[in-house]
Each structure stands twice: as C-alpha cells, then as structure tokens.
Structure 1
Amino acid sequence: MIGVLANSGAVFILSLIGVYVGQRISDKVQTQVMTALALCASIMGIQMGMKADQFIVVILSMALGTGIGAALDIDGGLARFGEKIDKRFEKAGTENGGPMTAAIQASLLFCVGAMAIVGSLQAGVSGNNDTLLIKSVLDGLTALVMAAALGIGVGFSALPLFIYQGTMVLFAHAIAPYISDALVADLTSAGGIMVFAIGLGLMDIKKVPVANMLPTFVVVIIARAIMGMFM
C-alpha cells in the first residue's frame, strides 16, 4: 500500500501548495518538468516490458486484447463519461464550480486511467510500487496546477483515489498466491508496454488510446491458463 499512500498523499499535499503558490509557477517550468517525468515513465515501461516470461504470449495478448478494447471503444467510453460530467458541472453552477465539483473532476482524472489500474495490479501482485510512485509525482504536479485554478476541492480527491486504488491493490494481493511467476512476468510486461504508451502521450509524441489495451490483462490470464492445461 506504499504506492497508494504516496499517490493520495502527493495529491493532497501538492493541492494545498497549489492553492497558495501554484499560480507563481510558470507554464515553461511545468511543461519541462512534466516532460522529464514522462521520459522516466517511458524508460520504466521499457524495463517492465522486457520482463516477459514468454514474449509471444504478450504480443498475441496485446493484439487480441487491444482489438477487443477497440471494438468495445473503452477509451472513447471513458472520454465521453468525463465530458458528460464536465457538461453537467458547467450547467450546474459557476465557471469553475465549488469544492465538490473540483473534487469530483480531479477524482475522475486521477482514478479513470490505465496507469491507476496497471500500477495497482503491479503493486498488489508483485509488491512493485514503481508505477504508482511515478503516478504519484505526475498526479501531484497535476493537482498543484488544478488547485491553483479550482481551489482546495482538488485535495479532497485524495480520499476516493486512496479507496479506489487501495481496493484494487488488496484484491490483486489476495489472488497473488494463485498466480504463477510466469503469469506475473507476462502481466508485468503487458503493463510496461502500456506505461510506455502513456509516456509517449504525455510527451505529445503519439496519443495512444491506452484504455483500449486493458483487456490484454484478461487475455494474458486466459492464455496462461490454457497453456497450463497442456504443459
């Protein structure tokens, strides 16, 4: 749970800082810091991606899982959900809304994303918090900027973020004893490819609909189960 605590703590603390000093940080500084963090995320994704036990399983699972996700339009569905929330807030009140509006908007931003799922599964199954720690810095800096514009309500999003990611970590930890080392390696590799794709998006190199890749995890598990029946 170290990664979950770090993530929610970073959001809360940097939101407080953002309320008082966020507007004094130039856009140039914010952009360059985010680029540096995106580079780190990409390199970490490469390291994770190379840990596959059977890379052919990862390749086939990525292809099939992404195809399923694209057919279901998971990424588009999440985007439309976020747009509906934004429009509802725009109709409901002021330009930026109140503290609860800011809290819900920030919660959606920090919780609805591939990195939250990948990081939580990684932490729960293997005890590796690297992805969540990188996400902590990214979310913290984002919270700082948002709090400067929307107020202290952004900091309130730390609670639903903690509950959401904490629940996934505990669930992943509960099923970890029933997961083989080979499966963990292949899941880690698939997650690493997604983290790398997120890094590309953060650097505006290539916007990848990473959420469409999430079914890959299910496909990897099924593929490994089938292999176990014949090996």
Structure 2
Amino acid sequence: MVLFGALINALLIIIGSLIGRLLKGIPENMKQTVMYAIGIVVIVMGVQMGLESSNFVIIIICIVLGAVVGEWIDIDKWINRLGQMIELKFGSKKQDGSIAQGFVTSTLIFVIGAMGVLGALNSGLQNDHDLLVSKGIIDGFTAVILSATLGIGVILSSIPVVVYQGAIALLATQITRLVPEAALEMFLQEMTAAGGIMIIGIGTNLLGLTKIRVANLLPCLVFVGIVVAIIF
C-alpha cells in the first residue's frame, strides 16, 4: 500500500496529540519550562538543517523571494484563520489553548524537512515505509509535548502531513522520471537548509523572542525548486 507510511505518520501524530492532552493538567511553570526546552531543541535542529546548504546564496535569494510572496499572499493569516474558525466551532480556546497556534506551529515542524519527502519517495517507488514510520515515531513524541503545551490544535497537523506525503508517494514515479537524480539530491539539500532557517524562526517564536510569521516563508521552498531547475 503506497500510502501506508504517510497514514502511519499521521496516526502517530494523532496518538501523540491525544496523549499530550491527558498531560494538560501539568503546572504552568512546568509547561513554560518544557516550552522553552522545545524552543531550544527546535533552534538546534534548525541550525543543523540550515548548515546542509552547499550554496548559501541560493538560500538567501529563495528566502527573500519567498518572504515577499508569502507576505503578499499572507499565508500565515489564512492558516491562522482556519485554526480560529475551528476554535469558534468547538469553543475550546479558553480551556485548551489556541488551536490556531498549535496547528500552525506543529504543521510547520512536521512538514518542513527532507525526511518526509525522502520517506514518501521510498514509499512510492519501493513500497518501503521504514523512513516515514521512523519519522512518525519522532513526530508522535514531539506531538505529545506540543499538545500538552500548545493545545489540541496539534492534532490537526496530521491532515497536511498525510496530504503532502501521500501526494509525493503517489507521484513518486513521475517525479523521479522527470527530475534527474543530481537535481533531486540538490533540491532536497537546499530545501532542508531553507527549512532549517524556518525551523529556527519557529524556535525563537516558542521562546518568545520573536513573532516571525514563519508560514509566510513557505514559498521559499518553491523558489528553491525553481532555482535548482534553472541550474540544471
């Protein structure tokens, strides 16, 4: 089953989120300390990813262009509006934390990165789901902490995860047929680096140091693909 890995990844996020809600009664001081710890770890992860780039000029250009397009479209506003609509529907903002914040933050953490793309390609080409299952285990544990601190909105991140990984898995044959191996490798490398920079932004937001609209940087991943295509 081509979609097995993507579905398992999403299921583990759901399970982790539900477990995290069982821990929502932990003291506020502990929640705050855990949130800061997550922020620090996320920043370190982002730095590690960011250093994957072989050409930082590409990353700078793509980040700037992505920010311009992202702010013009205002992706952050639309994603937050979706979360707020769900908040109003379930009336859970005061009791369980901001659904919008949990949804946006966790979606960016779980979606950005090469592991999901590579895992989805393996699922589609070789019916090998090990990488996505491994990612799912990591995401599940992360979802426990995020859900305990940011609220039940974290569970909604399972939807974009299964959609984008599933789409890549289904289109894997066409992707590898149309894109040269060297170009795909370069794209994954630079995409990881660009994603790392966005991950750093998420980390500083979690620490309360910044209020970066990280979702508005997402178009930079498209520009990475365009630049790689021009190079090849």
Query: TM-score, length-normalised on structure 2?
Result: 0.71
Of 4, 9, 13, 2:12 maps to 9
1:150 maps to none
1:81 maps to 82
1:221 maps to 225
Residue identity in the other structure for 1:169: Q
2:66–2:221 contact (8 Å) kept in structure 1: yes
1:117 maps to 111
- The structure-2 alpha-carbon separation of the partners of 1:125 and 1:82, relative to structure 1 and needing over 3 Å to count, comes to same
More displaced 10-residue stretch of structure 1: 5-14 or 25-34: 5-14
More displaced 10-residue stretch of structure 1: 110-119 or 203-212: 110-119
2:126 maps to none
The alpha carbon displacement at 1:123 in A equals 1.8
What aligned pairs does 1:110-189 form with structure 2 within 5 A after superposition? Answer: 113-119=107-113, 122-125=115-118, 135-144=139-148, 154=152, 161-162=157-158, 164-173=160-169, 174=172, 177=176, 178=179, 179-189=183-193
The alpha carbon displacement at 1:211 in A equals 0.5
3-state SS, counterpart of residue 180 of structure 1: helix
- Unpaired segments ≥5 residues, structure 2: 121-130
Q: How far apart are the structure 2 equivalents of 1:114 and 1:171?
A: 17
- The structure-2 alpha-carbon separation of the partners of 1:106 and 1:74, relative to structure 1 and needing over 3 Å to count, comes to closer
Query: TM-score, length-normalised on structure 1?
Result: 0.71
Residue identity in the other structure for 2:103: L
1:64–1:216 contact (8 Å) kept in structure 2: yes
Aligned residues: 207
1:28 maps to 29
Superimposed CA distance per residue, residues 82-108 of structure 1 (whole angstroms, 9 cap, x where no aligned partner): 223323444xx9x86xxxxx8xx5897
2:215 maps to 211
- The structure-2 alpha-carbon separation of the partners of 1:126 and 1:142, relative to structure 1 and needing over 3 Å to count, comes to closer
Residue identity in the other structure for 1:125: L
3-state SS, counterpart of residue 212 of structure 2: coil
1:59 maps to 60
- The structure-2 alpha-carbon separation of the partners of 1:131 and 1:188, relative to structure 1 and needing over 3 Å to count, comes to farther
| RMSD after superposition | 3.6
What is the aligned-residue identity percentage?
A: 23
